[in-house]
Each structure stands twice: as C-alpha cells, then as structure tokens.
C-alpha cells in the first residue's frame, strides 16, 4: 500500500437545527450572563462525486458492494478500502446507458419529465421492422440534441448559488458543447468534458488528446516525467516492477491520470471555500484493448493467472487505473489541512461518492465487464443493465456512518441532486419537480429508507424494447408494451431474475402494477406508438386501467382500438 500520512480522526460537530436547540433557548434565563452559548454549526462539507464509465456490478475486487461477488481478477485496493471504511449501498440503480444516468444526476429528474427527456445515447425510435416506434428524445424545445436543456437549473447551478466552487473533470456527454458545461450547467471550470460519448483513444499524442476529449484537458497532457511517476504512480503500484514504472518516463500521458491531475488541481485551488469536485472517469468504457491500457498495468494483468471472473488484461488495467485515481484523491483529502475546519484534514469535512453510470458491458471483444450473477448487461432493464456499485465515504462519522456498513436503501441516480443540496444547505429550485430523495439520513446513520424505484424506456436500445419497471422492496415488476406482458421477480431469493413469478402471484402483480401506472401518470411518461404499416390492434372486453396520452382511463368490458400512430398503452387488467 502507498505511504500515507496519519492524522488523528476528530469528528466535526454535528449540525444542530433550530428545532434541536429551541428547548434550550426557551428554558434559558433572560439574563445575558446565563444565556446558553449559540450553537456552533460545522462548515458545509465539500462534495466529491466520482463515477466510472461502464464499470460492472462485480468488477471491484471487494464483495461488499455486490453481495459477495467480488472480482478475483481485477484489483481495486483503494476502492475496497473505501467500502470497508465507508458505507456501501447494494441496491443502487442507474439507467440502461450512460446519457440517461448523467441527465438524471444533473437534473434530479426521471427521464420521463419533459425537462429531462433523455432515455439513451442515440435515437430510440427503433428499426423500421420493429412493431412500435419509439419517441423522439432530447432537447425538443431547442435543437433536439440528447442533452440537458440549457434553461434548466442543474445540480451544479444549485450548488453555485449556495456558494460552492464547482469543477468538472472528464466525460460529460449530455451537453450540446463543451462550452455549455460552464455557461449553462453550473460548473466554474471543465477539463475534458464535452458532448462526446467516450474517449476514442486513451492516450495523449504530442501533449494533446484527440478530439473526443475537450482540449481543456490538454494542459494536463504532458508526457510522464520521473518526478510524476515517483509521486503519482509508484506509491499506488502493486505487482509492478520498478523497471516497468521507469519505462513510463517520456511516454504519453493516460487520460485517467490527466483528469485526476485536473481534479486535484481544482480541489487544491478551491479548498478555501466549499467545493463540488465531479470526476467523471472515461474508463473503463470501450475501446478496451491493449492499446488503451497504461503499459505497466497491462503487463501486470497479462502476467496474472485468471480466476473465476472474466480475465481481460486491458480491462483489468483500466479498472485499476480508476482505482489509483480514487486513491490519489483520497490521499490528498487525508493529507491536506482544511482552512475552513480548523486545519483538520479535508477528509474530515468531505463526502465522497463512487459509482458507475450503468451496468457493465459484458462484451469480451470491445469491453470486458462483469456483472456477476445479475441478468444481462448494459442497455437492458434487467438487473445487469441498471444495478451499479455505490460507495459513500467520509472520515467524519457525522457525515457518513461507515465501518463497511451495507445499506439496502434503493438508490436512484435522481437522488444525488437532493442529497448534495441537503449537505450544502442549498435552496432547491422553486416549482421544479425533483424525483430524488434526500439520502443524508441513510448516509449519516446507516438507516434504511424504504422507497420505490421506477424505470421507463419508450423506445429501443439494442435488443431492449419499450418497457417499464417498478422495484418495491424485494419485488421487481417488469412490463413489456409490445405484448402487454408482465414479469415478476423476487430479487432477494433470485437476484439473477431466473424465475418469473407473475403467473403465480396475480394479486402482487396488480398491486405493483398500480404503483407503476400511478408513476407513469404522475410524470406524464411518453409512450411508443404503433408503427406505420402495422395492423390495427383490437383488445376486446377489457376490464381494468390503461395509461396513454398523459392520463389513466378506467375500463369495464371495453373494446380498445390502437391504430398506427396511436400510443400503445400500458394495460393493467383487473385480476
């Protein structure tokens, strides 16, 4: 393990609310001499959000985040340590692809909201042979791009208004341009982020990254020097020889190292005020091959004996590179005095979250992720496509109750907005429906928060067609629009979704189906339509509820006709 300076952990004082101090004040004598001292409020915490790209649920070597299915090939020692010291959320969800997850994180809204309207990376209308036609997504009122509307108040803007310095490092994707990240989406500075979906090549060439990475990162693209390797790579290397490290000197900088340099530079310059550092890793998104991996790590994994998990050296190298990025950030927080908190380490007043933007892509040629026992992978609404690792860490137990505690609160990407705003004591935008919940009670006490999770795709992503789902406790109900069918899974007994229980539990299907139809109605979810050229569909003698055109309709032995161009409704028959 790298050398780390040691500090005595001193918890910052708990935040006192007016309600908690009112009884003391009410009972105090009127004289100034006997008055109770005013409560001292801890400085608002710094916030660090780190997100890997396409990292699978079982790609970390720790089993804490994934029900015991840790990876026995990849090595992620610092993330494992964060999981042991912090709190892990085993029921955390993203979206089927990266862009809807990112839009949800920045807006705090489900994709079904018209001010979000991002469901996938590309068009979801589907092939001409598909029976249904998916919706048109993106910024419909502006230019139709699959990006956040520039007039929407993002999480970054909310924190800016609350006095936070905000810096962004890495992939953004849901902006119309790199300039929008700063001009319209709430970040004071941006290094590398743009409208592009991924880094097409991971290394700089002649001190510049290619045009898939914003040139704002090029200031950190200089070749490796001996001092850089000694200070920023060697302390975090395991199983790599000194000769392999020295061979990096004079070679091209890897984008993971460069964006970490940028994030640390921002934190160092911003520590006199509360800050949000958003580190959006480009790795380990495809292309995943030998040309993309840092040579020292690639050599390590090529020499390693495979275990039970898929063994792809370049993927293991990219994943451990992300782990080293996290390690550098955590070490900086632990070793740097906080000028706002009496010189204690920054880590004593900082909340760090680590996650992934969707399920891993289990393509051994282009990717190499592993979702363990979960069904399917990136792009699908089964668990392998949407469940992600989620670690929360702080050295202040008042901010995060740690100790490797596993929390079964169901987390949704929309929760980041409300949670970070709560930590920052920031006012939420007025009149804006936010779909997330405040997770600070779960983070600070380890309490499980009971809530439902929803997902909706009114179109096509690869083999995934128009579908909706609701997760309620151990149960997950999945609805397919093309044939009006339900699937029901018990995720406690059957995390791999191998046994459909819908036929055995019609009452439960209906109860969960009522939750789902209520959510579709509340968020005015758009629906796919019957494609032109398809025969008219007639459903006779239907009793139950339908959702279409933004409303719920109750039926009693009705005939429902769906012509080409009509929305294909959500059908919930009475059991």
Q: Which residues are catalytic?
A: 98, 173
- Widest pairwise Cα distance in the chain: 85
The tokens of 272 are what?
């006199």
Q: CA 147: distance to chain centroid?
A: 16
Q: Are 96 and 379 in contact (CB under 8 A)?
A: yes
**CA nearest to 148, candidates 182, 125, 116:** 116
Count the alpha carbons within 13 Å of 539 in the hemisphere toward its beta carbon.
21
| Angle in degrees, 0-180, between the axes of helices 313-335 and 77-85, rounded to the nearest 10 | 50
Tell me the C-alpha to C-alpha distance, in Å, between residue 294 and each of 166, 193, 216, 287, 523: 29, 21, 22, 13, 45
Neighbour count for residue 302 (Cβ, 10 Å): 14
Measure the CA–CA gap between 92 and 101, rounded to whole angstroms: 12
Residue by residue, DSSP assigns 100-135 as HHHHHHHH-S-TTSTTT---SSS--S--TTSSEEPP
Read off the tokens for 16: 């006192």
Say how far residue 16 (Cα) sits from the centre of its chain: 30
From CA 288, how far away is CA 469, in angstroms rounded?
A: 31
Q: How many CB atoms lie within 10 A of CB 49?
A: 19
Give 563's contacts (C-beta < 8 A, 6+ positions apart): 530, 536
| Enclosing H/E stretch for 318 | helix 313-335
551-562, strands of its sheet edge to edge: 551-562, 537-548, 570-573
* Nearest-angstrom CA–CA distance, 198 and 287: 9
Check if the beta carbon of residue 163 is closer than 8 Å to that of residue 274.
yes
């Amino acid at each position: 393990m790298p050398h780390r300076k040691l500090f005595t952990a001193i918890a910052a004082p708990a935040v006192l609310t007016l309600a908690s101090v009112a009884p003391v004040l009410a009972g105090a004598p009127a004289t100034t001499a006997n008055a109770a001292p005013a409560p001292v409020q801890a400085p608002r915490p710094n916030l660090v959000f780190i997100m890997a790209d396409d990292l699978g649920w079982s790609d970390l070597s720790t089993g804490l985040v994934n029900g015991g299915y840790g990876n026995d090939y990849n090595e992620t020692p610092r993330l494992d340590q964060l999981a042991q010291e912090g709190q892990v959320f085993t029921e955390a969800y993203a979206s089927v692809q990266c862009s809807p997850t990112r839009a949800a994180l920045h807006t705090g809204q489900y994709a079904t909201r018209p001010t979000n309207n991002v469901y996938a990376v590309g068009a979801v209308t589907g092939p001409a042979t598909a029976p249904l036609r998916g919706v048109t997504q993106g910024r419909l009122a502006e230019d139709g791009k699959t990006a956040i509307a520039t007039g929407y108040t993002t999480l970054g803007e909310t924190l800016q208004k609350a006095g936070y310095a905000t810096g962004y490092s890495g992939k953004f994707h849901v902006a119309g341009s790199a300039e929008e990240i700063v001009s319209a989406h709430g970040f004071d500075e941006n290094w590398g982020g743009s409208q592009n979906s991924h880094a097409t090549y991971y290394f700089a060439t002649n001190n510049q990254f290619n045009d898939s990475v914003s040139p704002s990162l090029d200031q950190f693209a200089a070749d490796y020097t001996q001092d850089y390797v000694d200070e920023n790579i060697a302390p975090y290397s395991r199983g790599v020889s000194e000769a392999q490290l020295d061979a990096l000197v004079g070679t091209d900088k890897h984008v993971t190292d460069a964006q970490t340099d940028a994030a640390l530079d921002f934190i160092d310059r911003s520590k006199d005020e509360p800050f949000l550092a958003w580190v959006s890793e480009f790795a380990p998104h495809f292309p995943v091959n030998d040309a993309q991996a840092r040579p020292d790590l690639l050599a390590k994994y090529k020499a390693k004996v495979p275990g039970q998990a898929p063994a792809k050296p370049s993927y293991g190298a990219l994943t451990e590179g992300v782990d080293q990025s996290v390690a550098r950030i955590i070490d900086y927080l632990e070793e740097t005095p906080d000028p706002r908190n009496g010189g204690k380490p920054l880590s004593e007043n900082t909340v760090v979250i680590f996650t992934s933007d969707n399920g891993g892509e289990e393509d051994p040629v282009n990717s190499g992720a592993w979702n363990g026992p979960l069904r399917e992978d990136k792009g699908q609404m089964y668990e392998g496509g949407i469940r992600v690792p989620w670690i929360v860490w702080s050295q202040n137990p008042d901010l995060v109750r740690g100790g490797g505690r596993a929390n079964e609160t169901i987390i949704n990407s929309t929760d980041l907005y409300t949670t970070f705003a709560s930590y920052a004591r920031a006012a939420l935008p007025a009149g804006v429906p936010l779909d997330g919940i405040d997770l600070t009670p779960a983070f600070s006490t380890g309490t499980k928060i009971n809530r439902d999770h929803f997902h909706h795709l009114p179109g096509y992503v690869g083999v995934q067609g128009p579908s909706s789902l609701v997760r309620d406790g151990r149960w997950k109900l999945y609805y397919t629009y093309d044939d009006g069918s339900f699937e029901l899974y018990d995720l406690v007994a059957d995390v791999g979704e191998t046994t459909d229980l819908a036929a055995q539990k019609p009452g439960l299907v209906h109860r969960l189906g009522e939750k789902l139809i209520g959510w579709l109605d509340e968020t005015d979810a758009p629906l796919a339509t019957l494609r032109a050229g398809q025969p008219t569909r007639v459903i006779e003698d239907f009793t139950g509820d339908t959702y279409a055109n933004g409303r719920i309709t109750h039926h009693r032995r009705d005939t429902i006709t769906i012509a080409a161009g009509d929305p294909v409704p959500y059908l919930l028959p009475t059991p």
